[in-house]
Structure 1
């Protein structure tokens, strides 16, 4: 990617939220500017918002418990929202969900907008609800999300462990969108973060035009289910102008 190929860039501050329409054929690159970021993310079909990211299908179709390069993110209609075409992190959490207001208050105290303005203490659930409300979506539309840049793994007893500073400064993940997709994200802390003080991290969004998907594309050929998912997605847009 050259500078001239960039469509747009936007810095999302620490503890903030963002949403927007990313069109089919565009890559959205997420960069952890300082290291230690968490980006809680959800995907919806803007043409039919009842179609949204499906965590269970995404994991079982690809026989994985986390996401990395070569994986795709499925909708609950068997189509592919986006493909992970590049990833310097190697592990993105898929099943720990969102931080909540009660968790943030219990861990860090209460710092509201009236006191701190844009430095108020945000949580993932409320952040995403603010973004979803812009599109007529609400609490019932929150589904299990992806936490980009975060790693959580189980020990031999099944207890989950959060890996602090899993992502270093400059780490990035590139998502090539196979569908027009409504993306909502939050940079609030991960629900299992054990940091002693409230210190979420900013991320940089960079959008650029993707190369055409080749027949031997890594994500398409990752498994037979992915190949079928690409076919279903291409049929959805067949004949579209």
Structure 2
């Protein structure tokens, strides 16, 4: 089941309270307050932003792809999707989206998966899992590897094949396309701006994503 629901936003960049260009291959962690809106912009197009969310009041309760998919009965995300924690709590809602479909199944690249998918000599390449662990360690909340759950891949195109498998394909996003989501509670956002050079998720050329926050 798929859908493409493209909805633009009326929010003006000059009114944002936060504006940051996250370089390709780097990580980012930020706490959103209830009602705040985060926009992620695919600056040059065809990038992939691996993302996790945590309930700031209960860090053990992180984003759950299974709960989110089950509640909306769709494996893809777009405008109107409610991003839920393992407890079922609504963390955020996507309120605007100019891409129309985002992946919940492809997961985050790691040193180990790079060797399995591509070649053993890719073991030393940087990965999203490395970025996640570094950011969790930097923010000193006693996070461990167990706190890395199956993530969302914003802007990434991972179609489900008729046989039930996954196919990593060229992106459907473009330069300047964005997804916007509103926090329903205090929510920690963890992003790895994917450094992947081995498959089309970043067009073999990872680029920046722009992160903007509005108070409402």
TM-score (norm 2): 0.85
The one of 102, 105, 112 equivalent to 1:92 is 102
Indicate how the Cα distance of structure 1 residues 80 and 190 shifts in structure 2: closer, same or farther if over 3 A, else same: farther
Structure 1 partner of 2:158:
152
The one of 188, 196, 199 equivalent to 1:182 is 188
- The question of 1:204 aligning with 2:210 is answered yes
Give the secondary structure class of the aligned counterpart of 2:69: helix
Structure 2 partner of 1:162:
168
| TM-superposition CA deviations, 1:91-112 (whole Å, max 9, x none) | 1100111101134464595697
Structure 2 partner of 1:64:
74
The structural deviation recorded for 1:23 is 0.8
Q: Number of residue pairs matched?
A: 202
Rg: which structure is higher?
A: 1
Structure 1 partner of 2:39:
29
Superposition CA RMSD, Å: 2.4
Structure 1 partner of 2:3:
none
Indicate how the Cα distance of structure 1 residues 130 and 157 shifts in structure 2: closer, same or farther if over 3 A, else same: same
In the TM superposition, 1:11-50 aligns within 5 A as: 11-50=21-60
Matches of 2:60 and 2:202, distance apart in 1: 38
Give the secondary structure class of the aligned counterpart of 1:58: helix
The one of 81, 84, 87 equivalent to 1:77 is 87
Unaligned 5+ segments in structure 2 are: 1-10
Runs of 4 or more above 3 Å deviation: 102-112, 189-192, 194-198
The structural deviation recorded for 1:179 is 0.8
Matches of 1:193 and 1:177, distance apart in 2: 32
| TM-superposition CA deviations, 1:26-66 (whole Å, max 9, x none) | 10000000111111111111222111111111001111011
Matches of 2:210 and 2:98, distance apart in 1: 15
Indicate how the Cα distance of structure 1 residues 20 and 2 shifts in structure 2: closer, same or farther if over 3 A, else same: same
Matches of 2:198 and 2:67, distance apart in 1: 24
Unaligned 5+ segments in structure 1 are: 113-120, 211-241
In the TM superposition, 1:87-236 aligns within 5 A as: 87-104=97-114, 106=118, 121-133=125-137, 134=139, 135-189=141-195, 193-194=199-200, 199-210=205-216
Indicate how the Cα distance of structure 1 residues 40 and 108 shifts in structure 2: closer, same or farther if over 3 A, else same: farther
Give the secondary structure class of the aligned counterpart of 1:162: coil
Matches of 2:120 and 2:206, distance apart in 1: 12
Give the secondary structure class of the aligned counterpart of 1:128: helix
Contact 2:47 2:201 survives alignment (8 Å): no
